[in-house]
Amino acid sequence: MANQDFARIEVALEAVGSCAGRLPPGNAEASVQRSVRDLCLAFTSHAAVEPEVERLMDSLQRLHAVRLTGHRRVFQRDAAPVGRLVRTVEQELLPALRRVGFKV
């Protein structure tokens, strides 16, 4: 059972990484992408993932704040990839991590 749970986490991390890779260029987006890479590295190296998940969530909040203060056209254009990323984190990654026992 635990192997299936860890496989779900790996699949969720791949999905999050794919979504992050589709973000448009920008500083806030690059921060999200770095956070995703750091989380993947922490998971694969058996390091603590909780701090990396916290960094990812913080970078997603900063991205949201930047998008709210930007131009409406840019906000609308970027809504789909950003929304997909947030949904993937909330609906796939976090539940998979919690199932294994991570406090995220």
Mean per-residue pLDDT over the chain, rounded:
89
Asked whether 62 and 75 are in contact (CB, 8 A), the reply is no
pLDDT of res. 31: 93
Number of structural domains found in the chain:
1
Asked whether 23 and 58 are in contact (CB, 8 A), the reply is no
Per-residue pLDDT reduced to its tens digit, 47-90: 999 999 999 999 999 888 887 777 776 667 677 888 899 999 99
What is the residue whose two structure tokens read 């991570």? 102
Domain that holds residue 87: 2-100
